[in-house]
């Protein structure tokens, strides 16, 4: 017949409940502060991302305007060339 292990051992309370509550509350407070810090950091990063998106849009507009200017310059140069070549 197998022996039952630990059946008759008395159960002991290793920690005071009030101490455990205090530890859990301090852990909760530190986690709450950390969450607030992370939330503030996320808000800052979102603002930076919006600025970056705005900058990207402006860069696209600049590229379009530069292409338009280059096209206009090429057209003006071609017109000047034609007027130089034509005797009239």
Vertex 75 angle, CA 70 and 76, to 5°: 95
pLDDT digits 0-9 by tens, 37-73? 999 999 999 999 999 999 999 999 999 999 999 999 9
Tokens of 62: 């600049």
Structure tokens at 16: 């005071």
Report the C-alpha gap between 80 and 11 in whole angstroms.
Answer: 102
Rounded CA-CA distance 68/66 in Å is 5
pLDDT in tens, 16-35: 888 999 999 999 999 999 99
User: What does the block give as tokens for 50?
Assistant: 């919006």
With a threshold of 0.85, does the pTM exceed it?
no
């Amino acid at each position: 017949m197998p022996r039952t292990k630990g059946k008759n051992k008395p159960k002991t309370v290793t920690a005071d409940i009030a101490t455990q509550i205090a530890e859990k509350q301090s852990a909760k407070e530190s986690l709450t502060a950390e969450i607030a810090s992370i939330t503030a950091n996320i808000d800052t990063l979102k603002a930076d991302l919006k600025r970056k998106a705005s900058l990207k849009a402006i860069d696209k507009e600049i590229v379009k305007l530069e292409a338009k200017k280059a096209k206009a310059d090429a057209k003006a140069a071609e017109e000047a060339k034609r007027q130089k070549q034509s005797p009239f």
